[in-house]
Structure 1
Amino acid sequence: MELLMLEGAPVSLSQRSLLVNQTRESGGPVFFIIQGLSSLGEKTMVLFVFFLLGYLVILGGNSMILFVTLSDSRLNSPMYFFLRNLSFVDLVYTTTTIPNMLAGFLMDRLTISIPGCFLQMYCFHQLAVTGRAILTVMAYDRYLAVCNPLRYAAIMTQSVRVLLVTGAWSFGLFCTLPSMVVAILQPYCGPNVVRHGWCDLSSVRTLVCADTSVDSVLSLSFALVALLITGVLILTSYFLIAASVYRMGAAERLKAFSTCAAHLTVVSISYSAASFVYISYRVGNFSSEVRIIVSVLYSALTPFLNPMIYSLRNKELRVAIRKTLAGIRPAAVSTVKAVST
Structure 2
Amino acid sequence: METINQTGVTNFLLMGFTEDADLQSLLFGLLLPMYLVTITGNLLIILAITSDSHLHTPMYFFLSNLSFADIGFTSTTIPKTLVNIHTQNKAITFAGCITQMCFFIVFGCLDNLLLTAMAYDRFVAICHPLRYTVIMTPRFCGLLALGSWMISVMGSLSEVLTVLRLSFCANTKIPHFFCDLPEVLKLACSDTLINNIIVYSATIVLAVFPLTGILFSYSQVFSSIRRISAAGGKYKAFSTCASHLLVVSLFYGTGLGVYLSSVATVSSKMSLIASVVYTMVTPMLNPFIYSLRNGDMKGAIRRLLSNMGPLTEQTMAGP
Distance of 2:223 and 2:6 partners within structure 1: 63
Report the secondary structure of 1:159's partner residue. helix
Identify which of 135, 160, 184 aligns with 1:155: 135
Structure 2 unaligned residues grouped into runs of 5+: none
Q: Which residue of 1 aligns with 2:303?
A: 323
Report the secondary structure of 1:39's partner residue. coil
Q: Which residue of 1 aligns with 2:253?
A: 272
Structure 1 unaligned residues grouped into runs of 5+: 1-16
Asked if structure 1 preserves the Cα contact closer than 8 Å seen for 2:6 and 2:165, the reply is no
Identify which of 200, 213, 216 aligns with 1:220: 200
Distance of 2:215 and 2:34 partners within structure 1: 30
1:208-231 deviations in Å (ceiling 9; x for gaps): 221223322331232133221011
Asked if structure 2 preserves the Cα contact closer than 8 Å seen for 1:38 and 1:108, the reply is no
Distance of 2:212 and 2:8 partners within structure 1: 42
- Count of residue pairs brought into register by the alignment: 318
Report the secondary structure of 1:220's partner residue. helix
Asked if structure 1 preserves the Cα contact closer than 8 Å seen for 2:48 and 2:301, the reply is yes
Q: Which residue of 2 aligns with 1:298?
A: 278
Within the alignment, does 1:87 sit opposite 2:67 as a pair? Answer: yes
Within the alignment, does 1:310 sit opposite 2:310 as a pair? Answer: no
Identity %, equivalent residues: 37
Asked if structure 1 preserves the Cα contact closer than 8 Å seen for 2:262 and 2:270, the reply is no
| Structure 1 position 263, deviation (Å) | 0.8
For 2:301, the aligned partner's letter is I
Report the secondary structure of 2:167's partner residue. coil
1:45-81 deviations in Å (ceiling 9; x for gaps): 1011111111011100000011111111111111111
In structure 2, the CA distance between the partners of 1:220 and 1:278, relative to structure 1 (3 Å rule), is: same
Q: Which residue of 2 aligns with 1:4?
A: none
Map residues 255-266 of structure 1 onto 2, 5 A cutoff: 255-266=236-247
Distance of 1:37 and 1:177 partners within structure 2: 28
Asked if structure 1 preserves the Cα contact closer than 8 Å seen for 2:6 and 2:166, the reply is no
- Root-mean-square deviation (CA, aligned residues, Å) is 2.3
Q: Which residue of 2 aligns with 1:97?
A: 77
Q: Which residue of 2 aligns with 1:142?
A: 122
In structure 2, the CA distance between the partners of 1:40 and 1:216, relative to structure 1 (3 Å rule), is: farther
| Structure 1 position 161, deviation (Å) | 0.6
In structure 2, the CA distance between the partners of 1:25 and 1:227, relative to structure 1 (3 Å rule), is: closer
Map residues 56-205 of structure 1 onto 2, 5 A cutoff: 56-205=36-185
| Structure 1 position 85, deviation (Å) | 0.5
For 1:305, the aligned partner's letter is L
| Structure 1 position 316, deviation (Å) | 0.4
For 2:135, the aligned partner's letter is I
Q: Which residue of 2 aligns with 1:3?
A: none
| Structure 1 position 149, deviation (Å) | 1.2
TM-score if structure 1 supplies the norm length? Answer: 0.86
Q: Which residue of 1 aligns with 2:29?
A: 49
Asked if structure 2 preserves the Cα contact closer than 8 Å seen for 1:35 and 1:109, the reply is no
Asked if structure 2 preserves the Cα contact closer than 8 Å seen for 1:38 and 1:105, the reply is no
Identify which of 224, 229, 232 aligns with 2:212: 232
| Structure 1 position 195, deviation (Å) | 2.3
Asked if structure 2 preserves the Cα contact closer than 8 Å seen for 1:94 and 1:299, the reply is yes
Distance of 1:273 and 1:230 partners within structure 2: 16
Within the alignment, does 1:40 sit opposite 2:33 as a pair? Answer: no
TM-score if structure 2 supplies the norm length? Answer: 0.92
Report the secondary structure of 2:19's partner residue. helix
1:28-48 deviations in Å (ceiling 9; x for gaps): 222222222351321001011
For 1:164, the aligned partner's letter is L
Report the secondary structure of 1:42's partner residue. helix
Q: Which residue of 2 aligns with 1:11?
A: none
Report the secondary structure of 1:209's partner residue. coil
Report the secondary structure of 2:92's partner residue. strand
Deviates most, 70-79 or 176-185: 176-185
Asked if structure 1 preserves the Cα contact closer than 8 Å seen for 2:14 and 2:174, the reply is yes
